[in-house]
Structure 1
Amino acid sequence: MSTSTTIIMAIIISFAVSVILCPIVIPILKKMKFGQYIREVGPKSHQSKTGTPTMGGMIILAGVIVTSLIFMIVEKNTKIAPVLFMTVGFGLIGFIDDYIKVVKKRNLGLTEIQKFSLQIVVTAVFCVYMIKYIGTSTIIPFTGGYEITMPTWLFVIFLFIAVIGTVNGANFTDGLDGLATSVTIIIAVFFTMVSIGTGLEPISAAFVGALMGFFLYNVYPARVFMGDTGSLALGGYVAAIAFVLKMPIFIVIVAFIYLIEVISVMMQVTWFKYTKKKYGEGRRIFKMAPLHHHFQESGYTETQVVAAFAVITAILCLIGYLGL
């Protein structure tokens, strides 16, 4: 099967699975009362979203898993296995978190320590695979493909920071209808293009298709949310595909929205704690974090913010492509 045929077939198969499952799964989630609980500290406009079915990330995962398995079995393509492992691994962590939320009807889920510990375990397995089978080299952007090889100890630290940061960045980005979905579709298209000839095309193309199908039901006003099941899986995919392609530094460029979202939260929390300790009253840098909420509180609509973030991601992906 030619590369172009592989990509097209992967997109079509995953899209079909996703778009078929959405109208089947969404009513089931509603019937089981697996609805999203919206925090009172969030934007007031989001309170109307309470009860919207969540855990829709299972649909995205289904499309990606089915498509990946087809290519792994039919074409005996095992190169996508580590990326699929990271996708499913982080997706399962998100599923556990979502399940606790909807069952206990609270917006907390796993404790920070529990979630972080599980993320460390999945990342550690991937790290061992990378060192043993892929290596510790990484491409430096805008150098014509020049690679540097890191000492193992430095690579391990770098990988853990990059993976955990990317996964949680994707998680924070999932805060508006269609935001994480639209941004990641564009990122997945980028990695589909750069993975041509590596054997990794099927899983990236599968994400493009699965997210396109899901987007039809996740766009404003969303009929289903992906939940942590989806957002953590997306982050796991982006981090894994970047490392397997030896392009982890490119994450900073093409997934800049993930990065700025998590940085905005870190800045907000750090400054609030610092000013509270020093002045007795916590102060904020942004009107609300993550960053997309700051723009909402500044008067922009959800659709405007989503469109802007998607356009920015598209431009950055073009820049990233030039940096190969």
Structure 2
Amino acid sequence: MLFELLYPLRDIFAGFNVIRYITFRTIWAALTALTLSLLLGPWLIRMLRKMQMGQYIRELGPKSHQAKAGTPTMGGLLIIFSVLVSSLLWGRLDNFFFWLILGATLAFGAIGFIDDFMKKVSRKNEGGLSSKAKFLLLSMVSLAIALALYYHPGYNTQLSVPFFKLVVPDLGWGYVVLAVFILVGASNAVNLTDGLDGLAAGPVLVAASTYLVLSYLAGNYKAATYLQIFFVPGVGEVTVFLGAVVGAVMGFLWYNAHPAEVFMGDTGSLALGGMLGTAALVTKHEILLAVVGGIFVVEALSVIIQVGFFKVSHGKRFFRMAPLHHHFELKGWPESKVIVRFWIVAVVLALAAISTLKLR
């Protein structure tokens, strides 16, 4: 919005010329979203408490979690609102990729909001959307995003493979299937990871920062050519949006850090997961998401392994409890230690992912 309003005035006041730089707008998008989330956090927490939107804690979970019962959830609204206002303020409103990732974030967040609201109405964790209904809604939104990309002029369906610069298979319609898988998988993986105070927010912050860098490089012809990655005209504007995400998540983490004053709920986790999946698609670094978001992948796999092993072994468990973070809790790790160690692993994986840019 500010770009459309102020940039045309650069001939009157030369200082307005700075707003054309993606880096400048990204920094201020982050600062704006951070400020909004910090200022609005206490108000939202009070409103959620007043509306009795408290977290339901399963009795089967770790006993230490029972003290968290009643902690306000649906805090993802704080992230979404801060991102929405900041990105609309600093982003270019004539950019296809900007609207696509913003729309994806809002759509996935809406599904999470419905699920959270239904849980609160029923007063039990199992009272939200059924697994089938949630999967269907996530798949429908994912398919819409995948088709929007597939039919966008100039967008190619080739797949970038880390470490192998000459391996760029063109998937054709298969790319739509892959895109749906990535989006549904990413949203669910972040959702499964959101089980401890700040556990999901930290790795999301790291992953969003990583794709912020990747979107800037993919949208810059000289940088993309030098690094031998796909050049995607216009995708640089996603950098501004991801800057807003980084700022909003940082502000949310201020209140979500252990001991948490608010949880993001499905509203936040599905929105952020869908956002990361979309970022991976539009920047043409689809497979790299498995490295950048390795924490989310491992958490999701731990659930799949646990369920599969339980069935084939007729009741035995592979982990003490799934997702994986609960396994470490039951082994005696303090919650804060699990969280910080997972954050460290997320940073290491992000650095490893960025290093692949020079190893192609």
TM range (shorter): over 0.9
RMSD: 1.3
Paired letter, 1:88: L
Which runs of structure 1 show a deviation greater than 6 angstroms over 4 or more consecutive aligned residues?
none
Distance 1:129 1:77 in 2: 14
Matched, 1:217 2:264: no
1:94 aligns with 2:112: yes
The structure 2 residue matched to 1:85, chosen from 103, 111, 133, is 103
TM-score after normalising by structure 1:
0.95
The aligned counterpart of 1:231 is 269
> How many residues align structurally?
317
**Aligned partner of 1:286: which letter?**
F
TM-score by length of 2: 0.85
Say if 1:143 and 1:323, in contact at 8 Å, map to a contact too: no
Structure with greater Cα Rg: 2
Contact 2:74–2:116 under 8 Å retained in 1: yes
Unpaired runs of 5+ residues, structure 2, are 1-18, 221-235
Aligned to 2:340: 307
Cα shift at 1:164: 1.2
Residue 240 of structure 1 and its aligned partner are, at CA, apart by: 0.1
Shift of 1:135: 2.6
8 A contact 1:257–1:313 mirrored in 2: yes
Residue in 2 that maps onto 1:193: 213
1:210-243 CA-to-partner distances (Å, cap 9, x unmatched) read 0000000000000000000000011001000000
Aligned match for 2:133, one of 99, 108, 114: 114
Question: Does structure 1 residue 51 correspond to structure 2 residue 70?
Answer: yes
> In the aligned structure 2, how far is the partner of 1:289 from the partner of 1:265?
5
Q: Tell me the distance in 2 between the aligned counterparts of 1:94 and 1:128.
A: 22
Distance in 1, matches of 2:23 and 2:100, equals 22
Structural mapping, 1:17-166, within 5 Å:
17-72=36-91, 76-108=94-126, 109-133=128-152, 134-144=155-165, 146=166, 148-166=168-186
Q: Structure 2 CA distance, aligned partners of 1:19 and 1:13?
A: 10
* C-alpha contact (below 8 Å) 1:60/1:214 kept by paired residues: yes
Q: Shift in Å at residue 68 of structure 1?
A: 1.8
Separation of aligned partners in 2, 1:139 and 1:44: 45
Could you list the runs of 5+ residues in structure 1 that have no partner in the other structure?
Answer: 277-281
Distance 1:78 1:269 in 2: 40
Partners of 1:30 and 1:261 lie apart in 2 by 30
Percentage of identical aligned residues: 40
Contact 1:137 1:147 in 2 (8 A): no
CA distance in 2, matches of 1:53, 1:147: 47
Q: CA deviation at 1:147?
A: 6.0
SS of match in other structure, 1:266: helix
1:262 is aligned, of 300, 319, 338, to: 300
Deviations 1:233-255 (A, max 9, x none): 11001000000001110111000
Quote how far apart the aligned CAs of 1:72 are: 4.0
Q: Is the 8 A contact 1:166 1:239 kept in 2?
A: yes
For 1:279, the equivalent position in structure 2 comes to none
SS in 2 for 1:248: coil
Task: Write the distance in 2 (CA, Å) between the matches of 1:55 and 1:41.
Answer: 22
In 2, Cα distance between the equivalents of 1:76 and 1:166? 27
Quote how far apart the aligned CAs of 1:85 are: 1.3
- What is the CA deviation profile of residues 70-111 of structure 1, one whole-angstrom value per residue up to 9, with x for unaligned ones? 2346x6444311111111111000000000011110102100
The equivalent of 1:287 in structure 2 is 320
Q: Tell me, what secondary structure is at the counterpart of 2:284?
A: coil
Please give the secondary structure, in 1, of the residue aligned with 2:159: strand
**Distance across 2 between alignment mates of 1:142 and 1:308:** 27
**Is 2:196 aligned against 1:176?**
yes
